Amino acid sequence: MSDEEQLVTIGVLARASGLTASALRFYDDCGLLTPAEVDAVTGYRYYRSAQLERAMLIRRLREIEVGLDGITAILSGDQALAEHLLDEHVDALERRARHAADTARAIKAELNSGPRVLLPGPALAHAIEQVGSAVAADDGIRVLTGFLLEVERDALILTATDRYRLTTRTLVPLRRSGGDWSLVVAGTELTAIEPWLRTTDEVALSPGDRGLLLNSGGIERHCRSIAEPYPDYRAVLSGLAPVRTRVVLTRDRLLDAIDAAGPALVFSAHPAPQPGTTGANPANLAPADQATLVVAAPGTAGEELPAAVIGTAVELAFATPTLRPALQSAVGPDIMLDISAPDQPVVIRSASVGDLTTVTMPTVRPTPDTEENT
C-alpha cells in the first residue's frame, strides 16, 4: 500500500457508499469487502478510499436482491458472466414486479403537534410479522406479551422476547416530528391489525393516553399499551460472549433440513483447515465443499449443507419450535450464525435495508431415548 494512500473509517465508508456500518461488517465477515487494516487493539476497521467503488457496487446489487453468491460471481472480473447473471436476475425481477408496475401511491397525512412517525404500512406489517414470533404467548410475565416500540433519532425499533428468543428490527421512517418516545404495545392487538397495515400506503404512529394510535387516510386504529418496564434488551446484546464459530449459509436450505430433522435437532459445524492462516479470520471463509454443517435429528446421520464455517468446530442442539421462527423471519437469502458456545445464545443476522437481529438459546443436547419420550 502506498504511504500516500488514505485509509478511512467504517463510518466514513458507510456514509459515502450508502451502506450501513452493520452491512459493511457483514460483508467483511463474508469476505466480500475486507478492510485494508483492522486495529489489533480496538478492532476498528479501516478501508482504502479505492474500496468505495466496490462497496457501492455491492449496495446496488443488494438493492436489486442479488444474493451473496451472485454478487461474488458478478464481481469476479468475468464480464460475460456478470452480464449473463445480471440479465437473468433482472428477468426474474421483472416477472415478479409486472403486476405492481402501475401501482400509484396517494400520500395523505394530517400533521398534529404531538410526536408522530410516518412509515410504509407494508414495511411495518412485515416487521411486526418478523418480530412477533418472539412475543411471549404465556402471560406469566405480562410485559413480555407485548412489543417494545421505540422511536429515536431517525429510527423506529421494534423488539420482542419470550426469554428463549429475542428479536429486534430497525426501520427508517419516511418522516417524523416531535421528540423520542417509546411504548410497550399489547402483542395480540398489534398483530391483529397487521392485515390492515398491508393494505395501507403509509401509516402514522403516535403515542396516546392509553396506547398506540395509528392513522392512515383518515382511518384510525388503537392498540393498548402495557404500563410495565420492558427488560433491558440492549444489555443482553452487549453482554454476549465473544464469537468462536461463524456459519454463513442459505436460509431456505437450512429451513428444509430443520423440517426434515423434526422437533429436536443437532448442529455440527466443522471449518475447513486454512493453510497459512491462524485463528478465525473472517476474510478466509472456507469454500462450501470443504467446510461442513450437518443438521440432524438425535441419533441420525442428518444432512450435510453447503456452508462457510470459520472458527472452532462446535456441536449444539436446538428445539425446532424455537429456532425455526427465528430463521424464517430473517431478511434476505443468506444468514449468518454467530456461536460462542453450545450453552450460550446464538446470534442470527442478516444484511438488509432495515437491521434485523435475533438471539436464540440452544438446548441441552437430546438423546434418542429422550427424543422418544417427548
Q: Report d(CA 168, CA 355) in Å as an integer.
A: 8
Query: In this model, does residue 371 exceed pLDDT 80?
Result: no
Query: In this model, does residue 143 exceed pLDDT 50?
Result: yes
Q: Provide the pLDDT confidence category of residue 107 given band limits of 50, 70 and 90.
A: very low
Q: Report d(CA 202, CA 120) in Å as an integer.
A: 4
SS3 state of residue 260:
helix
pTM of the model: 0.62
The dihedral over CA atoms of 92, 98, 104, 105, expressed in degrees to the nearest 10, equals -40
Question: Average pLDDT for residues 3-17, to the nearest whole number?
Answer: 82
Query: In this model, does residue 364 exceed pLDDT 50?
Result: yes
The cell numbers describing 34, all together, are: 475486507
Between 284 and 178, name the one with better pLDDT: 178
Between 162 and 64, name the one with better pLDDT: 162
Between 253 and 289, name the one with better pLDDT: 253
Q: Provide the pLDDT confidence category of residue 210 given band limits of 50, 70 and 90.
A: confident
Q: Strands of 187-256 (E only): list them.
A: 202-207, 211-216, 219-224, 245-250
Q: Provide the pLDDT confidence category of residue 124 given band limits of 50, 70 and 90.
A: very high
Determine the pLDDT at residue 367. 57
Q: Provide the pLDDT confidence category of residue 4 given band limits of 50, 70 and 90.
A: low
| Residue listed under C-alpha cell 437481529 | 357
Query: In this model, does residue 374 exceed pLDDT 50?
Result: no
Q: What is the C-alpha R_g of the chain?
A: 22
Q: Provide the pLDDT confidence category of residue 368 given band limits of 50, 70 and 90.
A: low
Determine the pLDDT at residue 281. 43
Share of the chain above pLDDT 70, in %: 86
Sign of CA dihedral 232, 234, 239, 245: positive
SS3 state of residue 197:
helix
Question: Average pLDDT for residues 202-224, to the nearest whole number?
Answer: 93
- Across 271-292, b (16+ Cβ under 10 Å) vs e yields bbebeeeeebebebbbebeebb
* Average pLDDT taken over every residue of the chain: 84
Nearest to 230 by CA among 198, 269, 185: 185
Q: Report d(CA 70, CA 73) in Å as an integer.
A: 5
Domains of the chain: 7-100 (1.10.1660.10), 116-233 (3.10.150.10), 240-373 (3.10.150.10)
Cα of 253 vs its chain's centroid, Å:
17
SS3 state of residue 157:
strand
Query: In this model, does residue 11 exceed pLDDT 80?
Result: yes
Q: Report d(CA 229, CA 143) in Å as an integer.
A: 7
Q: Report d(CA 231, CA 283) in Å as an integer.
A: 36
Determine the pLDDT at residue 100. 61
**Interval 271-299: pLDDT, tens:** 876 655 544 444 344 444 467 788 988 88
Query: In this model, does residue 168 exceed pLDDT 70?
Result: yes
Q: Provide the pLDDT confidence category of residue 99 given band limits of 50, 70 and 90.
A: low
Between 284 and 2, name the one with better pLDDT: 2
Q: Provide the pLDDT confidence category of residue 106 given band limits of 50, 70 and 90.
A: very low
SS3 state of residue 310:
strand
Determine the pLDDT at residue 275. 59
Q: Provide the pLDDT confidence category of residue 2 given band limits of 50, 70 and 90.
A: low
Nearest to 338 by CA among 350, 328, 329, 352: 350
Q: Provide the pLDDT confidence category of residue 369 given band limits of 50, 70 and 90.
A: low
Determine the pLDDT at residue 173. 94
Share of the chain above pLDDT 90, in %: 38
Instruction: Specify the DSSP class assigned to residue 76.
Output: T
Give the angle subtended at the CA of 199 by the CAs of 198 and 203, to the nearest 5°: 75
Compute the half-sphere exposure of residue 166: CA atoms within 13 Å on the CB side of its CA. 16
Say if residues 264 and 317 touch (Cβ distance below 8 Å): yes
Strands 308-311 and 314-319: unpaired
Determine the pLDDT at residue 203. 96
